[in-house]
Amino acid sequence: MKYLRYLLIALPLMVYFRWSDPESGWAFLTAALSILPLAGYMGHATEELAEHMGPKLGGFLNATFGNATELIIALFALKAGHLEVVKASIIGSIIGNILLVLGLSVLVGGLLHGVQRFCTETAKINATTLLLAVIAMLVPSLFMHYHSAVDGASVKLSVGVSVILLLVYAAVLYFGFRHAGARAGALTGSGKDVQQGPQQGNHGEGWSKRKALAVLVISTIAVALASEVLVGSLEHTVATLGWPEAFIGIILIPIIGNAAEHSSAVLMAAKNQIEVATEIAIGSSIQIALFVAPLLVLAGLIFGQPMTMVFNEFELVAMVLSVWIAKSISKDGETNWLEGLMLLATYAIVAIGFAFA
């Protein structure tokens, strides 16, 4: 986080390229680089603001803004009609959080601290929620693949599934607030603060409500600007670099949108707080699946860009297997470096697959 802030220098460069050469690879690169620290500020401001608003409203804020960067990028990409990129970035965020972030956290934590332990109860709720999300995302795809129905039905089905997912998300949040009490669980994000409490060093003395709100507003506007540039230069960059759009959606955008969050999960693992790291990684995946993805489907209706939840088999199988291996590793509440390495190896194999596709 501390070092990421130097990347803010990319922001003015991006503004320059936006006007001089908006479709160039340079615009894409500088936009991508600016988003890294901006997303960090957004996340931090959200947490600070949440602290001023009490556990319930604050937890709700965390649960809503936790993946705001991905949501903003995806909204711009959706508006510009890059439906495949949006869908790929949903899958990529889920896989990236499960395999890359969790893998790095478990590897680093395991190397520094040997076997690390965490509560299996939260892990189980998270695993089941993730599984439900995966099932929900499979249904419209299967429907399309095996029934070759008209596209309109597929959109209707996706909207129906999205509404159910948003209701489940509300129930999961309510369950977290109600039952988990102080250690408010993965989605509300307040777990991070509670447990970061003793090492407030990197928090300073806490921001005032006014400062937190100001930083949140400014960084959100800046992220939106950068997202617009990123999406605007996407097509040209894809053509120049020769990378497939799916690769950018699956691998690149999730890393850009989550870098700040990723680094804080790994940092937590390095401090022997593997439980917080796990909650950030899995909680973020759940949020993407149960909140961001359905929201994008509904936003697609408004934007006149009807988006379905129909993914290709490779994406779906990669997602199902990621969830499976994560469940397999987390279910006993113990992790070691070999398990982290295995998650990363799985990510590498899947990434190679997408790169070749």
Residues of this chain that bind a copy of itself (CB under 8 A): 120, 124-125, 127-129, 131-132, 134-136, 138-140, 142-143, 145-147, 149, 153, 156-157, 160-161, 164-165, 167-168, 171-172, 175, 179, 312-314, 317-318, 321, 324-325, 327-329, 331-332, 336-339, 341-342, 345-346, 348-350, 352-353, 356-357
What does 245-298 look like in DSSP terms, one character per residue?
HHHIIIIIHHHHHHHHHHHHHHHHHHTT-HHHHHHHHHHHHHHIIIIIHHHHHH
Closest separation in Å from C-beta 288 to a copy of itself: 17
Comparing CB distances to a copy of itself, the nearer of 166 and 213 is: 166
Closest separation in Å from C-beta 117 to a copy of itself: 13
- The answer to whether the beta carbons of residues 281 and 105 sit under 8 Å apart is yes
Which residues does 288 contact at the CB level (< 8 Å), separation at least 6? 67, 70, 90, 93, 94, 97
Closest separation in Å from C-beta 297 to a copy of itself: 13
Angstrom distance (rounded) from CA 127 to CA 323: 8
Comparing CB distances to a copy of itself, the nearer of 81 and 160 is: 160
Angstrom distance (rounded) from CA 106 to CA 112: 10
Amino acid at 115: V
Closest separation in Å from C-beta 351 to a copy of itself: 10
Angstrom distance (rounded) from CA 256 to CA 209: 28
Amino acid at 1: M
Angstrom distance (rounded) from CA 2 to CA 281: 20
Closest separation in Å from C-beta 310 to a copy of itself: 12
Closest separation in Å from C-beta 327 to a copy of itself: 7
Closest separation in Å from C-beta 105 to a copy of itself: 16
Comparing CB distances to a copy of itself, the nearer of 29 and 111 is: 111
Comparing CB distances to a copy of itself, the nearer of 142 and 221 is: 142
Angstrom distance (rounded) from CA 91 to CA 311: 9
Angstrom distance (rounded) from CA 19 to CA 26: 12
Comparing CB distances to a copy of itself, the nearer of 144 and 256 is: 144
Helices (H), the chain: 10-20, 25-52, 54-65, 68-79, 83-95, 102-113, 120-147, 151-179, 190-196, 209-232, 234-241, 245-247, 253-270, 274-287, 293-303, 313-330, 337-356
Query: What does the block give as tokens for 64?
Result: 């809503």
- The answer to whether the beta carbons of residues 220 and 53 sit under 8 Å apart is no
Comparing CB distances to a copy of itself, the nearer of 29 and 138 is: 138
Q: Please give the helix or strand (H or E) that residue 116 lies within, else none.
A: strand 116-117
Comparing CB distances to a copy of itself, the nearer of 26 and 175 is: 175
Closest separation in Å from C-beta 341 to a copy of itself: 5
Comparing CB distances to a copy of itself, the nearer of 157 and 296 is: 157
Closest separation in Å from C-beta 186 to a copy of itself: 13
Comparing CB distances to a copy of itself, the nearer of 168 and 223 is: 168
